[in-house]
Chains A and B, each alone.
Chain A
């Protein structure tokens, strides 16, 4: 079950953070997402050190261990980081998580293509909210598939 989704801009600004675990302990998710930046930075650095030619997968896998949560990370070509926090019991495999991130990525791209969107501001988009809700519902009801 998805507990939290977060989109962090390249300059570490939290453009979007949604919690789907019933609104309890919101701060916890903020802290966890912020902490994830460390790992993103490390991985980016490692990718840079690996050289230009090396193809880096956008999906970074589980970022760091945390109790009762699984924290997955994804980084786009433009350096936007996405964090998905699943609960411990969620047993879906990496390919599904990756597919979900791809969907989230395309939603985000759609949203920032809006000429009225401003960088460095929280994302405000009704469509994004609606689509995200639908996606999360799909995931939480185990109906999310690779297609």
Chain B
């Protein structure tokens, strides 16, 4: 127990367990006092606390001590009787009820241990619970004068007589007579022989010798009754009308029961009107003197006397016990009572006297004495089975043991009493906050049961502070529901509603029946009491602000995150594409800086051009989607679910209000003529489910609209509003902001309503789901204007510029692909094309296609147009294309600068042909090269899946695509500034090429047959065209179709794609920051056209020969597309792993690499017949050696080898057996010096002995040139075969 509590209780006990003084005024004396609207006893009560420190008290101790203060209880004769229990209950009820208003404001802020200590610090009981103090006092008063208690027995009596009366003495005697005393005295329960004090009350208002008469009476009294027990008290000395004490100090000291029936004052009457301050002082002095001079000494003496008397009595009682047995009837003052009430002890009984003695000792603070006598008398009572007396004595001994807390019993049937006691036992928090809360709940429960709602609510509220937010939701529910229910009964509607809101927000995972009851109650309350109230914090259903998405008719960068479909091969976002369309300058700069390591790249970039603000176009629909979560186990019905908005017709956005200021929520129905047209929905949310709701909104007027939130009617009754609380980006630029977690203001919900605009709908037709690598398709972009204004300036930004090309100016009627192949007279056509100027900054250009048609390219409202676009499958694999269509209104003053339309397509590109190029010197002509174009059909091959596992999409695509068995080769074109290509065999090369997966088809004039690979090798011979300085290129085209069809490279569809391919190749070779001299020539390029066997689909493959092996830096594509270009690797792979001659030839085309330019050819017969068996035969052979280089001279030594030399010594044994081998004849060694492009012949003869096939590759050529590190030119894979037939 806290100290303050102890002190408080001590004071209380001293106050109630104090001497009682009976006040008995005569009728005349009472009249004198009544002049002041007060009774005589009222005059005494304010002075009841008397300073008794001057007098010493002895009782039985040796050392005297002093009682610091003493409280005197003045009672009227009417109060010396037992109060009826019902009356006490009524009084107590009144006490608690009257404090209801004070109780409301007194909710201690106790939530945890710390707060409990803080709250109870320096607080008295009266501060914390004033009603309790009153209740305690009244309860004590109500229990007065019970049979078993002796504290209320008057110790003294004050007899008051008025000085007006004639026979003072007889009046006093009459007052004192036993008949005039209260009944308890007559019954012998109380001792009538108490200390008596006589007061002569004199009214100063009386005049005409009254004072003298009073003096006379006093003298008479003193003579008769003894001087010390008589006093004169003069009051009413105030003149009539003079100002008396202004405050009413008397009525507040009245007991509560008396307070209740105070008659109201009449007009112009004042309590204590005739009492001057001197009178008040006189009364105080009188009481003080009475107590110090008469009462305390009397009590002191009485203790001593009674104790002695008891001792004597014990002696006699003891002797009588052991002497002659005396019956119970012989005991003085003992009356045997019934079973229920127990015996009665009169004041004359021993037990009664002991008890009275103990009480007196207690009042005089002699607790030891009191305790010993209480214990003494306890045993006696017990023996007599006087249980109530035992209890009374025990209680007093407990109090003597120093103030134990009253033990409560919850079984007490009196709700009020248990409530009060529970509340007191809580101990004001302290260490055990939870226990405190539990007691509060008990108290609240009992209060409510007893009908004291205000106190019950107060207790519950205080307890709620401890329980709330501690996750004990059952407890919370109980408190919330009780508080809500009783708040309603107390007509505290806002509070009740707030508790219902909390209760319903706390229902996740609770039983459905409960939820149903709570919800029904809430709806009922709202319907009955406040149907107009708008609730803004009800979390039914839960609305996730982050799940809000706004879908305008106009796409905006905001939605990027929501509809994020960032495929891994395309990192271009819609906003990048938008930038490419409207802000080409910034786009270029960004691409230029794409590899920059600048710290603050953003600062280096130019300012972004202004984009469209968040606009909604009048009469176009905007969709709000949000997630609603029903946390309950029961279906939730929402009516009129709609958006809450604010509209201003000004041209500026509405100002933001400070969020901190809570605004009055108002509910206004959407009107017919409002600025916005918003859909209302009636929803039923399934139990514990998440529902996505879309609301459509249409602007009707121009201006600004701010969507604030949503609102709905829960179960058709409760009006609820939810305001969105959206946060923008986290602000991190300063430490203060980082610490405070500031966010940018989210302006997504502020939208400008702009006048009508054109609105386009577009689709792309003709784009196949799957395409073959290199396939060219003509697609149509169907655009329809569904808006009310004309649109112009159509442009299309594409995420994959290599795949799309704008068709320029050809008739749409031409059938593709047949119409694009023109019949020529010859299979081999050549034409001269001007050199394309290449621009290294080409790669910075934004990937935008200008769309135009007709004359003005304006699309009127309601019109539709189909714009052809070429598509080429540039790269195998899955592709996700983003196409962004940009258009503007013809009205230049429109608030929206432009509008955008998003198109998306995805596609899978299957591999088709795998090509590689080989070059070798021509067998027939040293000036010519043979170009072998190897074409593999990988249509249905599994070669791709060897390295890369098939993706599911690939599988699906394969399943969808028509099984193409084979592809037809249509045409090959060779573009070079130095070389011309033509078919190898002019005469017979008309065979139609077709490459089929898994089957073989080969040109006849290849090296041999029998290879089973599904490939075609096309041989072209390549000859230098004129001189190297000639500007311009030769385009040699060879058609494989029987009707000599050619497709022109300079027109659609090839030109766009080819140009793009060339440009990119150029940019690869010459990076932007490359300081080397730019070359316009990027080598020899080949274009191979193919079609499917039914000629329905056509495509082309671009190839190049001779170029640097690896790109000097990653190209722009790999930055933007984040992938490696598959086709690119394929195309220059031959330079890495082709054979030596091929590398040589490649070198001769490019003349950059340091390779040996030597070429070798053997001329001579290939088939000879022996003349006779065993006879040697000599065959002349010429070996042609040429330097195919363009500038460098070449020194070599030629050596024809003997068989032993050729096969090495390791095979020495076997060599002997090979006597059938041939022998060289002629000049076996020769040194040669070859100038550039010079050739030399070495004439030799071969001697053979028997039939067979001989490989003549048995010679060695050694370089002796500085530039080439002495290199052995053993052309291992070079062979010239000589077949010798038998005769």
A residues whose Cβ falls under 8 Å from a Cβ of B: 12-14, 17, 26-27, 30-32, 34-39, 42, 64, 67, 122
Contacts and interface: CB of A to CB of B under 8 A. Distances in A.
Given A34-B438, A38-B434, A67-B411, A27 B478 contact: yes
25 contacts: A12-B470, A12-B471, A13-B471, A14-B472, A26-B474, A27-B474, A27-B475, A27-B478, A30-B474, A31-B438, A31-B441, A34-B438, A34-B470, A34-B475, A35-B434, A35-B435, A35-B437, A35-B438, A36-B434, A37-B434, A38-B432, A38-B434, A39-B432, A64-B435, A122-B509
A119 B1160 CA distance: 83
Interface in B504-551: 509
Nearest to A13: B471
Contact of A34 (B410, B411, B434, B509): B434
B467 interface: yes
A30 B434 contact: no
Contacts of B475: 27, 30-31, 34
Nearest to B434: A38
Interface string B417-452: 000000000000001111101100100000000000
Contacts of A39: 432
Contacts of A31: 438, 441, 475
A3 to B, nearest CB: 16
Given A35-B438, A38-B435, 10 more contacts: A12-B470, A12-B471, A13-B471, A14-B472, A17-B474, A30-B472, A34-B472, A35-B434, A35-B435, A67-B411
A42 B432 CA distance: 9
Contacts of B478: 27, 30
Contacts of A36: 434
B410 A67 contact: yes
A26 B477 CA distance: 12
Given A31-B438, A31-B441, A67-B410, A42 B431 contact: yes
The secondary structure that dominates the B interface is helix
Q: What 4 A-B pairs come out closest when comparing CB atoms?
A: A38-B432, A38-B434, A35-B438, A27-B478
A42 to B, nearest CB: 7
B471 A14 contact: yes
Contacts of B472: 14, 30, 34
Nearest to A40: B434
Contacts of B470: 12, 34
Interface string B458-474: 00000000010011101
Contacts of A35: 434-435, 437-438
A14 B434 CA distance: 14
B1115 to A, nearest CB: 48
Nearest to A31: B438
A17 B434 CA distance: 18
A68 to B, nearest CB: 9
Nearest to A64: B435
A31 B440 CA distance: 11
Contacts of A42: 431-432
B415 to A, nearest CB: 16
Nearest to A17: B474
A76 to B, nearest CB: 19
B410 A38 contact: no
B1045 to A, nearest CB: 69
Nearest to B441: A31
A27 B433 CA distance: 18
A6 B432 CA distance: 20
Contacts of B437: 34-35
A12 B467 CA distance: 11
A14 B475 CA distance: 11
A26 to B, nearest CB: 7
Contacts of B471: 12-14
A31 B441 CA distance: 9
Q: Which among B433, B434, B467 has the highest number of chain A CB atoms within 10 Å?
A: B434
A96 B410 CA distance: 30
Contacts of B410: 67
A32 B472 CA distance: 12
B671 to A, nearest CB: 48
A37 B467 CA distance: 12
A46 to B, nearest CB: 12
Contacts of B509: 122
Interface string B477-509: 010000000000000000000000000000001
Nearest to B442: A31
A14 B432 CA distance: 19
A67 B409 CA distance: 9
A33 to B, nearest CB: 8
Contacts of B467: 34
Interface string B110-137: 0000000000000000000000000000
Contacts of A37: 434
B786 to A, nearest CB: 52
A144 to B, nearest CB: 28
A15 to B, nearest CB: 10
Nearest to B463: A31
A26 B475 CA distance: 10
Q: Which among B410, B411, B474, B475 has the highest number of chain A CB atoms within 10 Å?
A: B474
Nearest to A42: B431
Nearest to B467: A34
A34 B464 CA distance: 13
A60 to B, nearest CB: 15
Nearest to B438: A35
Nearest to B436: A38
A51 B467 CA distance: 32
Nearest to B113: A41
A122 B471 CA distance: 11
A104 B147 CA distance: 56
B427 to A, nearest CB: 11
B728 to A, nearest CB: 31
Interface in B810-865: none
Interface in B228-282: none
Contacts of A64: 435
A39 B438 CA distance: 13
Nearest to A12: B470
A37 B434 CA distance: 7
Contacts of B433: 38
A129 to B, nearest CB: 16
Contacts of A38: 431-435
A89 B463 CA distance: 30
A110 B474 CA distance: 26
A41 B433 CA distance: 11
A32 B439 CA distance: 11
A12 B470 CA distance: 8
A23 B435 CA distance: 24
Contacts of B434: 34-38
Contacts of A12: 470-471
Nearest to B432: A38
A122 B473 CA distance: 12
A12 B472 CA distance: 9
Nearest to A37: B434
A67 B418 CA distance: 14
A12 B112 CA distance: 13
Contacts of A30: 472, 474-475, 478
Q: Which among A12, A27, A36 has the highest number of chain B CB atoms within 10 Å?
A: A27
A30 B467 CA distance: 11
Contacts of A26: 474
A38 B427 CA distance: 14
Interface in B398-425: 410-411
A31 B475 CA distance: 7
Nearest to A120: B471
A17 B509 CA distance: 14
Q: Which among B411, B431, B438, B441 has the highest number of chain A CB atoms within 10 Å?
A: B438
Contacts of B474: 17, 26-27, 30
Nearest to B509: A122
B976 to A, nearest CB: 68
Nearest to A45: B431
A31 to B, nearest CB: 5
